[in-house]
Amino acid sequence: MIGTVFDIKELAVHDGPGLRTTVFLKGCPLRCVWCHNPEGLNPKPQLYVRKHACQNCGLCRKPCNHPDCQIFGRCLHICPQGLISISGKQMDADALAKKLRRNADMYAGGGGVTFSGGEPLLQAEFMLAVMDRLEGISCAIETSGYAAEETFRKVIGRMDFVYMDLKLADDALHRKYTGVSNERILKNLEILRHSGVPCVIRTPLIPEITDTKENLEGIQRILKGLPHELLPYNKMAGAKYPLLDMEYPYDAMQ
């Protein structure tokens, strides 16, 4: 089974207990205006160019015969500074599991693997196939909670720890700033609450959008005592957009 992975981060210190490796799965149904992982949005592989160091030598623009370069119209195998890469690698579940298992001794003492994204639930079957091959390794997920109830139930039942976002309590605002309704998310939150799986609900603090008194109070009313964590806004959040030839929507709103 094949999935699309845009990053694998060893020694992720904010993604769950102990020493962990976080796997970032590509593709997300939400479009949060403040998203700091824009390469996680589109489920397809994308050209990723670290433009700020580019000296415009032009080598990558010369036509080449490499099959993998053709759809991008750029040569991926010539940049003298290694500035051009593809964000989104197609990986086989076996190969990914093997790579993760290699570090099994690092996970001793409560650590393990965390699946993040993008929205990892978009690739739920792939994720479960990888987990089938990670026996004995503790797994966690970072999710927006936006998925079909059945998928959500199935996946969290396999997790040792769940980080789930609740960004906005108000549905209209949720639609406005993330592109989708929070109805499914709230339903899945109740599933999570009754599942007994250890969890933390997270709210990213976006100035004047999620960090308002009204929103934070609304979230508290929904959570009714579930463990809650506030994530400070990442000032560098917009940095990756130009590298993907994308625009940072949060900037456009300012």
- Positions in the binding site for another protein (CB under 8 A): 8-14, 18-19, 21, 59, 77-80, 82, 99, 102-103, 105-106, 108-109, 111
Q: Using the minimum distance from each CB to another protein, give the nearer residue, 102 or 176.
A: 102
Residue 89 burial by Cβ neighbours in a 10 Å radius (0-12, 13-18, 19+): middle
Q: Shortest distance, CB of residue 103 to another protein, whole angstroms?
A: 5
Q: Using the minimum distance from each CB to another protein, give the nearer residue, 38 or 43.
A: 38
Q: Shortest distance, CB of residue 9 to another protein, whole angstroms?
A: 6
Q: Using the minimum distance from each CB to another protein, give the nearer residue, 86 or 180.
A: 86
Q: Shortest distance, CB of residue 223 to another protein, whole angstroms?
A: 21
Angle at 88 (CA atoms; ends 168, 189), nearest 5 degrees:
25
Q: Shortest distance, CB of residue 124 to another protein, whole angstroms?
A: 25
Q: Shortest distance, CB of residue 131 to another protein, whole angstroms?
A: 19
Concatenating the DSSP letter of every residue in 97-135 gives HHHHHTTGGGGTTT-EEEEEES-GGGGHHHHHHHHHT-T
Pairing between β-strand 2-10 and β-strand 20-25 as defined by DSSP bridges? antiparallel
Q: Using the minimum distance from each CB to another protein, give the nearer residue, 214 or 229.
A: 229
Q: Using the minimum distance from each CB to another protein, give the nearer residue, 15 or 119.
A: 15
Q: DSSP label at 233?
A: P
Angle at 33 (CA atoms; ends 230, 202), nearest 5 degrees:
20
Angle at 233 (CA atoms; ends 230, 238), nearest 5 degrees:
150
